[in-house]
Every structure is written in structure tokens, then in C-alpha cells.
A and B are shown apart, each in its own frame.
Chain A
Amino acid sequence: NAGVTQTPKFQVLKTGQSMTLQCAQDMNHEYMSWYRQDPGMGLRLIHYSVGAGITDQGEVPNGYNVSRSTTEDFPLRLLSAAPSQTSVYFCASSDGPEKFGYTFGSGTRLTVV
């Protein structure tokens, strides 16, 4: 049981480049979320999805896009990378967040230079 798989684990981008962070889960969870983790700020919600075809913005959505064409996959797209997007990104999934909490991936460490 792989759980939540994120790729790549590390990435360096130049300012203005675009890229997609991949996230896949094999638990048939309806709920999926993307968070960024910055020192001293905990985790901040970027985008979330409550099922295939349904996405919405979280606390810090600017500069990011998401889509959810299947239950399993929830990619995060950086449209034009900026140094302020240097962070560690976590994808998480759940079968019912208020009852069961979230299962997290191992993260992608992104540096924008």
C-alpha cells in the first residue's frame, strides 16, 4: 500500500519557469489537499478537492493551479515560479478529514532562484 506518493522529492527552478508537482493516492480517498510548509508558519492550504472534477482555493492560492480529473491524482501547477514560492509542498488525502484526519505524502522541496 503506497499511500500518498509525491514526485519529485527535490526541484530547483529559475524564476519564471513553470512546473507540475505530482500527487497520487491509492486509497480511493475523496478529499485531497495541497499545503506549503514554511519555517514558523505551520502548514498553509493552497488548494483542495472534495472529489473528481471539484476543486477550490485555500488560504494561499495565488500562483498555483490544480485539477482533479481522477480520484487518484491531484497535480499542482506553478504557473510562473517566483522566489516566494520556495517552500516544502505536501499533498494529503482523506476519507473524511473530520473523522480520520489526513494521510500525507513525503513532500517536495522546491527552490526558486
Chain B
Amino acid sequence: GNSVTQMEGPVTLSEEAFLTINCTYTATGYPSLFWYVQYPGEGLQLLLKATKADDKGSNKGFEATYRKETTSFHLEKGSVQVSDSAVYFCALTMTGGFKTIFGAGTRLFVKA
């Protein structure tokens, strides 16, 4: 079946460090890929998305590129801030579908 695998956390970084959170997927077709962010005590918010291979999603300094050849959608940010501390979820939705499958989430701590 379809699935999403994320790197285990927590990830702890100093402010202004470079961030990478790995995400790989397994799918029988061609999914849309998403990154969501969850701040403490809140629901998930859509951070960025890519709907086809080689698309790059970007928002708030975060980027991720849809790589079909490696079935990956790694999240990157060049310089993290304390305010980026949150849990990040990678997710996929199959083309023509509506059920979204989530990874287990990766917690990020950014120290000042």
C-alpha cells in the first residue's frame, strides 16, 4: 500500500543552522506531496506542496522538491529560527483521490 516515511526526531539545531528533514514515499501511482507544520497545542497547517514530479514547493523560507526517481520530498530551510520549532509532517494524496496519508512526524527544536 501507499506509505510515507520520515526521519525520526527530535532534530535539535542552533538558530541560523541549515535544516533538512528527510521524507520518502511508496505509492502505486503519482501522488501529490505535502508538508504540514504543527505548532504546540494547534492543528496542522499546510506549509507547502508539489503536485507533480520535479515541482518545487516553497513557503516561509522552506523548500521541498518532488523527486520521482528517488521517491523523496525532503524539507529544507537555509537558516532556521527559534519560531520554527514545531512538528513537521510529510504527507501524500494519490491523483484522483482524497485520502491523505501522513508520516509519523518529525519534531524540530531550535535553540537561540
Q: Does B60 contact A (CB under 8 A)?
A: no
Asked whether A104 lies within 8 Å of B45 as measured between CB atoms, the reply is yes
Closest to A88 in B: B43
Asked whether B45 lies within 8 Å of A97 as measured between CB atoms, the reply is no
Asked whether A90 lies within 8 Å of B102 as measured between CB atoms, the reply is no
Interface centre among B95, B99, B103 (most CB of A within 10 A): B99
A7 vs chain B, min Cβ distance (A): 13
Q: Does B17 contact A (CB under 8 A)?
A: no
Q: Does A74 contact B (CB under 8 A)?
A: no
Using an 8 Å CB-CB cutoff, how does the interface string of B8-49 with A read, 1 for contact, 0 for none?
A: 000000000000000000000001101010000111111001
Q: Residues of B contacting A13 with CB < 8 Å?
A: none
Interface residues of A (CB under 8 A from B): 4, 31, 33, 35, 40-43, 45, 48, 50, 58, 90, 92, 94, 97-107
- The 4 A-B pairs with the shortest beta carbon distances in the complex, nearest first, are A104-B43, A42-B102, A101-B46, A42-B104
